[in-house]
Amino acid sequence: MKVSLLFLAVGFVLVLLQTTLLHLVPFGPFVPDLALVLCVYLGLNHPTVGAVIGTFMLGYSVDVFSSPVLGLNAFALSLVFITAYLSSRAIWVHSPLLSASVVFLASWVKGASLMLVWATFLTMDRYGFGTVKYILIDALLAAVLAPALFALLNRGQNYLERVRMPEEME
């Protein structure tokens, strides 16, 4: 329960950061996608039904503040969660390089799923090399920040689980 509350609070703070302070980072239209990093972390290290609901809510929150169409980010982040969860069965993410790689790939899943929904339902525009470049930069940004955020989340999760264990033993 405490761990779930931790992730809920982190999600809230990340959306807050993404809508305010992170826009000060001079990356043009790009804003580091920390929400995506959190979803990947949840898929890899905390795969519960609560995490699925949290991921959906996180995507929905991003939609509320960003997207003209509700549900787009909720859809994309849910797919990211599934990808991370399925990959967690095959790989053990134990190093910063691996976590960055998984987030990089997850960012492509998110970008591709957004494009797919746009192209299928919402627009007649075609996507070309420029879009691929856009997704690449977004993915690189998220991947660079992933190890640090993974380390922080891991530390928080471990701390809360350590606190819980003695209580359970009593």
Partner 1 sequence: MLSFLRRNQVLFSAFLSVLVSLYIIAPAAKGQHRSDPIGPLLIAVMRPLQSGIQASVIGIREFFMNYAALRGVATENDRLKTRVRELEGEKSRLLEEEATNKRLRELMEFRSEWAPKSMTASVIANSASAYFHSLIIDKGKNDGVERGMAVISALGVVGQVVAVTSRNAKVLLVTDPHSGVDAMDQRSRGRGIVSGSLENGPVMKYVKRSEDLKEGDRLVTSGLDGVFPKGLMIGTISKVNKKSVGLFQYIEVSLAVDPERVEEVLVVRGVPPEIKD
Is position 70 an interface residue for partner 1 (rule: CB under 8 A)? yes
Out of 37, 44, 74, 103, the only residue in the binding site for partner 1 (CB under 8 A) is: 74
**Cβ proximity to partner 1, 28 vs 166, nearer residue:** 28
**Cβ proximity to partner 1, 122 vs 165, nearer residue:** 122
CB of 20 to partner 1, least distance (A): 4
Is position 25 an interface residue for partner 1 (rule: CB under 8 A)? no
Is position 18 an interface residue for partner 1 (rule: CB under 8 A)? yes
3-state SS string for the chain: CHHHHHHHHHHHHHHHHHHCHHHHCCCCCCCCCHHHHHHHHHHHHCCCHHHHHHHHHHHHHHHHHCCCCCCHHHHHHHHHHHHHHHHHCCCCCCCHHHHHHHHHHHHHHHHHHHHHHHHHHHCCCCCCHHHHHHHHHHHHHHHHHHHHHHHHHHHHHHHHHHHHHHHHHC
Size of the site for partner 1 (CB under 8 A): 58
Binding to partner 1 (CB under 8 A) within 104-143 occurs at 111, 114, 117-118, 121-123, 125, 127-131, 134, 138
Round to whole Å and give the CA distance between 74 and 58.
7
Is position 149 an interface residue for partner 1 (rule: CB under 8 A)? no
Calculate Rg over the CA atoms of the chain. 16
Is position 11 an interface residue for partner 1 (rule: CB under 8 A)? no
Query: Which residues bind to partner 1, rule: CB under 8 A?
Result: 15-16, 18-21, 23-24, 29-31, 33, 35, 47-49, 51-53, 55-56, 59-62, 64-75, 78-79, 81-82, 85-86, 111, 114, 117-118, 121-123, 125, 127-131, 134, 138
